[in-house]
Structure 1
Amino acid sequence: MTGDERLPRARELSTWTTRRWLRVGVAVSLTVLALLGATGAWILGRTASISDSLVDVKSPALTTSIRLESALLNQETGIRGYGLTGTPDFLKPYHQGLTEQKTYIATLSELLQGDRAGLRDLKAVQSAVQEWQERIARPIAASPAGVPSPLATERAAKGKTTFDQVRRSMATQQDGLRADRVQARADLATTMRLRNWVFSAIAVLIAVLAGVVFEALRRCITTPLERLGADARAVADGDFGHPITPTGPADLRRLSGEIDVMRQRLVRELDFSEQARLRLDEQSTELQRSNTELEQFAYVASHDLQEPLRKVSSFTQLLQRRYGGQLDDRADQYIDFAVDGANRMQTLINDLLDFSRVGRVHHAHQSVDLNSVMKRSLSALSVSIEEAGAVITRDELPTLVAEPTQMGMLWQNLIGNAVKFRRPQETPHIHVSAVRDGALWRFTVTDNGIGIAPEYAEKVFVIFQRLHTKDAYNGSGIGLAMCRKIVEFHGGTIFVDPEYTDGTRITFTLAGEPAETSLPSTASEETRSGAQPTA
């Protein structure tokens, strides 16, 4: 094969996939093994056939022939003794020999089926025996007992000649059977030697085939996979510029190419991520600057803005007290508007400052008994609770790791809202429950108030979002937004239960390790007409 002819062949082999290589290798291996197996099976069958022939035919035939000869000798001895003495006891070996003769001849006829030479020798023996029996044995056996048979004397020479022919036939038969047995043994030995050579060759070929398969797997699969794995580990260790070298069959080369494409895309993504990180650092710096400005604004709002606001509020109140009723009704209304606006602005600024401090001004978390926090919150709300005649019940609350001040703000806002947004002419009933939910505690604040429509379930948690006018319900619209910020700062969630329709049910979770692992026992307390709550 010339170089020009080998090049297309090499190109064709280079397009073979691992599956194709495996199929071809398995097909070739199975073909070789099938041929070797067929050869081995033929050798084993040949060995078994010769062995069976030797054991089941040749040796038994020779043994039977010897026994047949012994039976014929017994007949001859019996006939000769009876002919010379006339004693009937001599006929017993003769008759026994006849019986054995029939048995042995039948056995030889069965054993020598398909052996023409053996059947021919058996037929010659039968002819010689039949001639001797017709001419000598039967006539003498038919002679009267008690006296010597004259035929024995007359035919003595003839009988000897006839029986010698029987002996020669038997000798010829036995020589042929011995020769067949010797030949069978020689064939068996030759076949066994051939069997040993064949199986040795099979073992050598299997070993060679295993070596070829192992080397082919190493070169075509194992080594390319190891090289691919080494390249992939180099990339995984951070050397993203390390190329993936395609080697091996076509599918492994395609896999290497796909991994290299992925590496290149990863490099591009990392470059983009690095640029994004740089931009994020810039934005973080800008955010820190903005937070600093917000903190400065909070300081200004808490000091500089409140000072002129207090002055406006003080002078408008002074104007109201001194000149109230001295001017016309419209002037009194304007003064009332100014006083109310200044007070609401004061409340709004304070609430906004409290909201901004959640999550920004960090206090040390500590073990907080929510029962004590609840007691302080109810004490702070005692006036509004007494005015509304509210009935408050609660479960035993757990002890959590939290920020105490923010927990107080949380309970005060939730209970305060439940008391504020009550139905006219109806006594407010508020229940606080707490149950363990895995690693969290799940709390609910349930009331029989005016409720929250499902479409406003998210809107109520947005800062400054109000569902009612300030004339219907006072407030700044910042309470539930502050509750959400406190709950999320403590690793929980808060939402309005849409399935509860008899009022409002606020559900929220808090993370923390309770002081006791058992669930709290349920206790209840009532606060009516401003009575102080008890734990």
Structure 2
Amino acid sequence: MSSRPSATEGPFAGWTVRRRLQAGVAAALVVLAVLGSLGGWAMWRTSQLTGELVDRRSPALIASLQVEEALVNQETGVRGYGLSGEADFLQPYEQGVADERAALRRLRPLVQGDTRARADLAAVETLAGRWQERIARPVSTASAGDAVKLAGLRATEGKSTFDALRHAMARQQAHLQTERTAATRDLRRSVTLRNWVFALIALVIVLLAALVFEGLRRTVTGPLDRLGLAAREVAEGRFDRAITGTGPADLRRLASDVESMRLRLVRELESSETSRTLLDEQAADLKRSNAELEQFAYVASHDLQEPLRKVSSFTQLLQRRYGGQLDERADQYIAFAVDGANRMQVLINDLLAFSRVGRVHNDQRSVDLEETLGAVLDSLSVAVEESGAEITHDPLPGVVGDSTQLGMLWQNLLSNAIKFRSPDRAPRIHISCAADGEDWKFAVADNGIGIAPEFQEKVFVLFQRLHTKDAYPGTGIGLAMCKKVVEFHGGTIGIDPGHTPGTRVVFTLPVSPAAPAAAAERETEQ
């Protein structure tokens, strides 16, 4: 299946999911940056107009009104003093002078950037200075009698001068009020614009989120859902379901890989079907072979042993009756016949025992190896006593297996350790046991004649003998039977090459659930 984009998939068909996400994120960041800049400008504009209104226009108008109020207080005090000559009227005048100075200090920096406001302030200060110079200060500094005369003489001039001052202050306040009204109007417009800008930003963000979700649905989640559905159908057994990919290039490549895997599974299934058919045929052949083996075992245990027992019985009878009556060569031939018949009978019995491992003896249950070993030591008591062997062992656990087979395992290992003892020393045999992960690791170590390194693998082969039957009797089946028993129980067996003197046979058996508790209880008892 090709992952090359088709003509209907558009100019972006060759883009991967990562590239599409990068492009989408970059575009979204650009849009958000523009929107953020627009929103920032709207906030800055609103803040600027608010500062203009709050920090300049309104304080300037208030300061102008305070200047007017201070001058009116001065005019009232001077006029009262000029009419009555009472000094109490000078207190409002003096307070008005202080208030005027304070109000002018606040007003001057507020009109620095406004030419008309500066001109209005200059006119007010000029007229106020003329009125104070011609009327207020001369009257306020004169004595009571002189003040009344001077006020009467300059009453007309004072009235006209202060009226001009009132007109100048009214003109200044009108201009300041106009500017304050314009600033308020600009602020309202800026707030409205800011609200619209933020509404637009919210709308664009919502649209951007909708576009992102729709883009992900079309280019990522949708193709993935279709690919997942097709893969699940294949997993449920519809191996004829072809998997086609859509969307970004990497998803199409993934679909192509899954399709390749499906085709390989189809081929493997066809091959496995052929193998299963062949396996069924082999199973039928094996079943037939097992039936023949069962028949052979029956024949070997009954039909073959009967004539063999006759041969053995009559050759032994011939040996007892005619022994010493014939020549020495005849006695030797009769002895050969008796020995051959006996060895043939032992060999057949050993072969039958070997064939029964895993076939006849297969009673899987919990086995206490302490009891099994005790029974084997009882059966070997004569050989142990004759050889002077000393047999020791660690606490042995319980395992799951066939007690008969495990008894044969101990029987063969211990009898071999006794049989192949060194003529120079009494046999010393020790059985060790230790936990090794999920297995029990056993070892049967002796101080006998040992096994040469080149033969340590061969001794587990059926009928493999390292000594003549005259030196050490046996059929060469014992260790092969041990290997079969251990492997039937899921373990391994081998010779420890580093053990000297003598031989150390190491084998493992799986840990049963009850084994650790049994071993711990036995260690406590000891």
TM-score normalised to structure 1 length: 0.88
Task: In structure 2, give the amino acid aligned to 1:521.
Answer: R
Which range moves more in the overlay, 50-59 or 267-276?
Answer: 50-59
CA distance in 1 between partners of 2:524 and 2:40 (Å): 91
Q: What residue is the counterpart of 1:67 in the other structure?
A: 66
After TM superposition, give the deviation of residue 435 of structure 1 in Å. Answer: 4.8
Q: What residue is the counterpart of 2:235 in the other structure?
A: 236
Q: What residue is the counterpart of 2:508 in the other structure?
A: 509
Q: What residue is the counterpart of 2:216 in the other structure?
A: 217
Q: What residue is the counterpart of 1:4 in the other structure?
A: none
Q: What residue is the counterpart of 2:94 in the other structure?
A: 95
After TM superposition, give the deviation of residue 499 of structure 1 in Å. Answer: 4.8
Q: What residue is the counterpart of 1:353 in the other structure?
A: 352
Local SS of the residue matching 2:147 = coil
Local SS of the residue matching 1:195 = helix
Give the 3 Å change call, closer, same or farther, for CA 35–396 of structure 1 in structure 2. closer
Within-5 A mapping of 1:300-379: 300-322=299-321, 324=323, 332-379=331-378
CA distance in 2 between partners of 1:501 and 1:146 (Å): 148
Task: In structure 2, give the amino acid aligned to 1:227.
Answer: R
Q: What residue is the counterpart of 1:29 in the other structure?
A: 28
After TM superposition, give the deviation of residue 21 of structure 1 in Å. Answer: 2.4
After TM superposition, give the deviation of residue 349 of structure 1 in Å. Answer: 1.9
Local SS of the residue matching 1:424 = coil
Q: What residue is the counterpart of 1:206 in the other structure?
A: 205
Local SS of the residue matching 1:449 = coil
Give the 3 Å change call, closer, same or farther, for CA 437–21 of structure 1 in structure 2. closer
Q: What residue is the counterpart of 2:188 in the other structure?
A: 189
Which range moves more in the overlay, 443-452 or 37-46?
Answer: 443-452
After TM superposition, give the deviation of residue 523 of structure 1 in Å. Answer: 10
List per-residue Cα deviations over 1:37-67 (Å, max 9, x = no partner): 2222211211121122212221111111111
Q: What residue is the counterpart of 2:15 in the other structure?
A: 16
Give the 3 Å change call, closer, same or farther, for CA 253–514 of structure 1 in structure 2. closer
CA distance in 2 between partners of 1:522 and 1:20 (Å): 68
Local SS of the residue matching 2:358 = coil
The question of 1:429 aligning with 2:431 is answered no
Give the 3 Å change call, closer, same or farther, for CA 8–346 of structure 1 in structure 2. closer
The question of 1:277 aligning with 2:282 is answered no
Give the 3 Å change call, closer, same or farther, for CA 371–8 of structure 1 in structure 2. closer
After TM superposition, give the deviation of residue 176 of structure 1 in Å. Answer: 1.1
Contact 2:139 2:150 in 1 (8 A): yes
Q: What residue is the counterpart of 1:385 in the other structure?
A: 384
Task: In structure 1, give the amino acid aligned to 2:304.
Answer: L
| Identity across matched positions, percent | 58
Within-5 A mapping of 1:42-81: 42-81=41-80
List per-residue Cα deviations over 1:257-311 (Å, max 9, x = no partner): 2211111111011101111111111111112222222222223333333344334
Contact 1:68 1:101 in 2 (8 A): yes
- Indicate the RMSD between aligned Cα atoms, in angstroms: 2.9
Which range moves more in the overlay, 457-466 or 160-169?
Answer: 457-466
Contact 2:361 2:405 in 1 (8 A): no
Give the 3 Å change call, closer, same or farther, for CA 148–379 of structure 1 in structure 2. closer
Q: Which runs of 5+ in 2 are unaligned?
A: 1-5
After TM superposition, give the deviation of residue 320 of structure 1 in Å. Answer: 4.4
Contact 2:140 2:147 in 1 (8 A): no
After TM superposition, give the deviation of residue 208 of structure 1 in Å. Answer: 2.4
Give the 3 Å change call, closer, same or farther, for CA 327–181 of structure 1 in structure 2. same
Contact 1:497 1:507 in 2 (8 A): yes
Local SS of the residue matching 2:471 = coil
Give the 3 Å change call, closer, same or farther, for CA 258–441 of structure 1 in structure 2. closer
Q: What residue is the counterpart of 1:286 in the other structure?
A: 285
After TM superposition, give the deviation of residue 10 of structure 1 in Å. Answer: 5.9
List per-residue Cα deviations over 1:128-175 (Å, max 9, x = no partner): 222222222233333246753543222222222222222122111111
Give the 3 Å change call, closer, same or farther, for CA 60–499 of structure 1 in structure 2. farther
CA distance in 2 between partners of 1:256 and 1:315 (Å): 83
After TM superposition, give the deviation of residue 520 of structure 1 in Å. Answer: 4.0
Local SS of the residue matching 2:449 = coil
After TM superposition, give the deviation of residue 313 of structure 1 in Å. Answer: 3.5
Contact 1:396 1:523 in 2 (8 A): no
Give the 3 Å change call, closer, same or farther, for CA 250–278 of structure 1 in structure 2. same
Which range moves more in the overlay, 364-373 or 383-392?
Answer: 364-373
Task: In structure 1, give the amino acid aligned to 2:522.
Answer: S
Q: What residue is the counterpart of 2:522 in the other structure?
A: 521
Local SS of the residue matching 1:476 = coil
Task: In structure 2, give the amino acid aligned to 1:463.
Answer: L
List per-residue Cα deviations over 1:404-456 (Å, max 9, x = no partner): 32222111112111212222221212223445566654433232323345554
Which range moves more in the overlay, 83-92 or 187-196?
Answer: 83-92
Contact 1:395 1:432 in 2 (8 A): yes
After TM superposition, give the deviation of residue 387 of structure 1 in Å. Answer: 1.4
CA distance in 1 between partners of 2:459 and 2:372 (Å): 24
Contact 2:49 2:186 in 1 (8 A): yes
Local SS of the residue matching 1:163 = helix
CA distance in 2 between partners of 1:225 and 1:67 (Å): 76
Q: What residue is the counterpart of 2:3 in the other structure?
A: none
List per-residue Cα deviations over 1:324-383 (Å, max 9, x = no partner): 556665555555444433333322221111111101114433444433332321222122
Q: Which runs of 5+ in 1 are unaligned?
A: 1-6, 526-535
Local SS of the residue matching 2:505 = strand
Contact 1:394 1:523 in 2 (8 A): no
Within-5 A mapping of 1:173-184: 173-184=172-183
CA distance in 2 between partners of 1:381 and 1:184 (Å): 120
Contact 2:495 2:503 in 1 (8 A): yes
Within-5 A mapping of 1:442-521: 442-453=441-452, 456-511=455-510, 512-514=512-514, 517-518=517-518, 519-521=520-522
Local SS of the residue matching 1:12 = coil
Give the 3 Å change call, closer, same or farther, for CA 458–139 of structure 1 in structure 2. farther
Contact 2:363 2:403 in 1 (8 A): no
Give the 3 Å change call, closer, same or farther, for CA 287–165 of structure 1 in structure 2. same
Task: In structure 2, give the amino acid aligned to 1:388.
Answer: S
CA distance in 1 between partners of 2:225 and 2:513 (Å): 50
**Number of paired residues?**
519
After TM superposition, give the deviation of residue 29 of structure 1 in Å. Answer: 2.3
CA distance in 2 between partners of 1:477 and 1:252 (Å): 65
Contact 2:429 2:446 in 1 (8 A): yes
Task: In structure 1, give the amino acid aligned to 2:466.
Answer: L
Task: In structure 2, give the amino acid aligned to 1:80.
Answer: R
CA distance in 1 between partners of 2:264 and 2:522 (Å): 59
Q: What residue is the counterpart of 1:417 in the other structure?
A: 416
After TM superposition, give the deviation of residue 243 of structure 1 in Å. Answer: 0.9
CA distance in 1 between partners of 2:121 and 2:327 (Å): 163
After TM superposition, give the deviation of residue 235 of structure 1 in Å. Answer: 0.5
Local SS of the residue matching 2:507 = strand
List per-residue Cα deviations over 1:189-240 (Å, max 9, x = no partner): 1122222222222222222222222222222222221111111111011000
Give the 3 Å change call, closer, same or farther, for CA 205–216 of structure 1 in structure 2. same
